[in-house]
Structure 1
Amino acid sequence: MNKPLFPDIVVNGEPITQVAIASEAQNHAAPKGKPGLAWRKAARALVMRSLLLQEAKRVNQQAEPKELSPGKVETPEEAVIRALLEARVEVEPPREQAVRKAYDAAPNRFRAPSLYEPAHILFAADPADAAARSDALKRAQAVLEVLKTQPDRFASLARNESDCPSRDAGGQLGQISPGDTVPEFEAALEKLNPGELALEPVESRYGIHILRLDAKATGELLPFEAVQGQIVEMLEKVAWARGARHFGDELVARAEISGIDMGKFPAS
């Protein structure tokens, strides 16, 4: 008989099946070629879930499932775990001194959204179509080589080559702010200085872009009073996460767990 690749896991006499772990592992990222890492992450998550449900049963925790978003409602087990954590993890509101300290430590985090004025030439290609993607990249590279020596041709090349309606405006997109476009496009914009052309094609879910940043207006620093509530919420979330980890550690410490070492593998 072949020995299983991973050991059986038992939590206070309750087994966690290999099938359950394999299913959960799909929700956990791992470096390519290291599936065992995803397995261990999944196993730890299921061990903690089992401990929470066992504790909820022990104290007869009751809860009604809540609607998380339109059309999505908690499962009964999710509701019980949420209620248990709400009952057992207490978070005191942060003092104003701590809130002010968080603001003063990195005030640049609290700025109004920046405004960008980009122009682009889009070579549309579905990410799932490898052939179209390759062709779009070749076309973009050819046009980009022209622009590196003749940047004044951007508008005319946009009108002739771009698959975006902005071609009628020479590729100009007008003013945009974070959240107006896809993250990969915004990440490329953030690396450019005003007046700069990206020297490499930019890939996004829509295709391949040639990107130029015409202007940027950095958002103004927001005063402490304007973001105080936001910082309070941030600190409360951090404190709650710390409290939840401590509660989980207590459950692990008094549990009988075999098949995995909950103390040596990082939880994240």
Structure 2
Amino acid sequence: MSAALLPELVVNGTIIPAAAISAEAQNHHAPKGKPGLAWRKAARALAVRQLLLEEAQRRGIVATCEDLGAGKSETEDEALIRALLEEALEAPEPSEEMVRAEWAKEPDRYRAPPLWEVSHILCACDPGEHEAASAARIRAELLIEALNKGARRFADLAASDSDCGSKANGGTLGQLGPGDTVPEFEAVLRQLPEGEITQEPVRTRFGWHVVRMDACAEGQVLPYEVVRPKLAEAMEKAAWTEAARAFVDELVAAAKISGPDIRAL
């Protein structure tokens, strides 16, 4: 979408050029074929930023840029917006009754992490090399076929065909928990029933895997006393986010804005 064909955004008399909106649009997702939605999201983001800076100036806020770590620090605008929101918003800590009521809605949501006992066979390849990746996938598919027919034991196939060091243990990886493997491998572990083998090879940056779920232990339900601190923190953050949204909506509603339609987002 050409910025030259789209209107400028004017916020309380301040012009935000179409080129600036176009650059910001790269940071906003929109469904395929609807670039106008990303444009409008970008226009709203820039309009909100302008309104927050105007409100900070109206209140006479002065802010010092904070260190963000890794050699980075806030810009002056970011510091002003942070200081404005700290002054303008109130997000009271939820009461004990509120936290307990939220927990009581569905206590089963709060569990310790699961544990999986897993074995695999790796057909290693560089996923970026098309021919090698295709050959590795075919090899993994043939291994799955052999396992389904019962022609070979999983441990025997792992010992003879796996490209992973776990082949020495029949492909066994031992106990794994969330975060112990790459995300695409973990996604399979979260769905694979105990005793089952993946019927399609699993692709990761290491190659193609045939995975067997040897045992699965679902995390135990955690008692309220353990859950409470993080739950209270999450509720406070949610309240702060809602207060920020309402604050921004008030600024937008009171502003004189022309150009892209940003109020319905």
TM-score under structure 1 normalisation? 0.90
Structure 1, 226-235 or 140-149: larger mean CA deviation: 140-149
Q: Which residue of 1 aligns with 2:66?
A: 66
Q: Does 1:148 align with 2:148?
A: yes
Aligned Cα root-mean-square deviation (Å): 2.0
Q: Does 1:136 align with 2:136?
A: yes
Structure 1, 184-193 or 39-48: larger mean CA deviation: 39-48
Structure 1, 56-65 or 122-131: larger mean CA deviation: 122-131
Q: Which residue of 1 aligns with 2:10?
A: 10
Q: Which residue of 1 aligns with 2:96?
A: 96
Structure 1, 147-156 or 256-265: larger mean CA deviation: 147-156
Superposition pairs of residues 210-249 of structure 1, within 5 angstroms: 210-249=210-249
Q: Which residue of 2 aligns with 1:84?
A: 84
User: Shift of the alpha carbon at 1:48?
Assistant: 1.2
Change over 3 Å in CA distance of 1:249–1:154 after alignment to 2: same
Question: Structure 1: any 5+ residue segments left out of the alignment?
Answer: none
Change over 3 Å in CA distance of 1:88–1:183 after alignment to 2: same
Change over 3 Å in CA distance of 1:28–1:137 after alignment to 2: farther
Superposition pairs of residues 141-180 of structure 1, within 5 angstroms: 141-150=141-150, 152-180=152-180
Q: Which residue of 1 aligns with 2:113?
A: 113
SS in structure 2 of the partner of residue 174 of structure 1: strand
Please give the per-residue CA displacement for 1:44-95, whole angstroms capped at 9, x wherever unaligned.
Answer: 2111112112212222222222233433322222222111111111011111
Structure 1, 96-105 or 36-45: larger mean CA deviation: 36-45
Q: Distance in 1 between matches of 2:67 and 2:132?
A: 41
Please give the per-residue CA displacement for 1:127-165, whole angstroms capped at 9, x wherever unaligned.
Answer: 444444333322222222222212753222223332322
Q: Which residue of 1 aligns with 2:197?
A: 197
Change over 3 Å in CA distance of 1:3–1:89 after alignment to 2: closer
Amino acid aligned to 1:80: L
Question: Structure 2: any 5+ residue segments left out of the alignment?
Answer: none
Percent of pairs with identical residues? 52
Please give the per-residue CA displacement for 1:171-190, whole angstroms capped at 9, x wherever unaligned.
Answer: 21111111111222111111
Change over 3 Å in CA distance of 1:194–1:53 after alignment to 2: same
Change over 3 Å in CA distance of 1:64–1:162 after alignment to 2: farther
Q: Distance in 2 between matches of 1:49 and 1:56?
A: 11
Change over 3 Å in CA distance of 1:92–1:163 after alignment to 2: same
Q: Is the 8 A contact 1:252 1:262 kept in 2?
A: no
Q: Distance in 2 between matches of 1:81 and 1:127?
A: 44
Q: Distance in 2 between matches of 1:62 and 1:162?
A: 62
User: Shift of the alpha carbon at 1:5?
Assistant: 3.5
Q: Is the 8 A contact 1:7 1:259 kept in 2?
A: yes
TM-score under structure 2 normalisation? 0.91
Amino acid aligned to 2:92: E
